[in-house]
Amino acid sequence: MHPDTTPQMASKGAGLSEVQAETEARRIIADAYRPTAYRDDTPIPAHGTTPPIAQPGRPPMSQGATDASVLMLAGGATTAMVGGTAAVLMYVSQFADPVVCGLVFGAPTALVLALARLAKRAKPGPDIHHHYQGPVYQDQRTIHSRTNGVWAKTNTHQ
């Protein structure tokens, strides 16, 4: 008698032939090893009525805002490191001049800021490519507009 078979089943004989018992055993084993999860591979629609859900981590924002926040975090960390170094130097030396330390530790920051402004101005303008079919007239006049006064009065000159 099989160890999993109870005496009641053995006494009844379970009413199964050898082939039926083997088929039933295969079915039970197949049921035991059947996957319990199902993956739905149907494509998800690109848009719908459900609003987007914010994921954990940084809040959703534009790429420009993300770049600016990373730049601010890096600048804040750099400032904290430079300030901490200056404070430790003044404390350890006990006679460091705060003005000299400010000049020594502030100069690299001012240099970096000046180089960043210079690099921002030195960016080349975007290449503009126009593709037209048929006759085209391009008007490239420059309009100068000036508004001044408590009551707005605009003078436009070409």
The DSSP letter of residue 145 is E
Confidence at 1, pLDDT banded by 50, 70, 90: very low
Q: Answer yes or no: is pLDDT of 2 > 80.
A: no
pLDDT in tens, 44-88: 777 777 777 777 887 778 888 888 888 889 988 988 888 888 788
| Residues 105, 85 contacting (CB under 8 angstroms) | yes
* Predicted local confidence at residue 11, as pLDDT: 44
* Predicted local confidence at residue 21, as pLDDT: 92
Confidence at 105, pLDDT banded by 50, 70, 90: confident
CB-CB neighbours of 106 under 10 Å: 13
> pTM score, two decimals?
0.32
CA Rg, the chain, in Å?
Answer: 39
Q: Among all chains, which residue has been given the structure tokens 């690299």?
A: 108
Dist CA 13 CA 32 (whole Å): 24
Dist CA 130 CA 128 (whole Å): 7
Listed by start position, the domains of the chain span 66-120
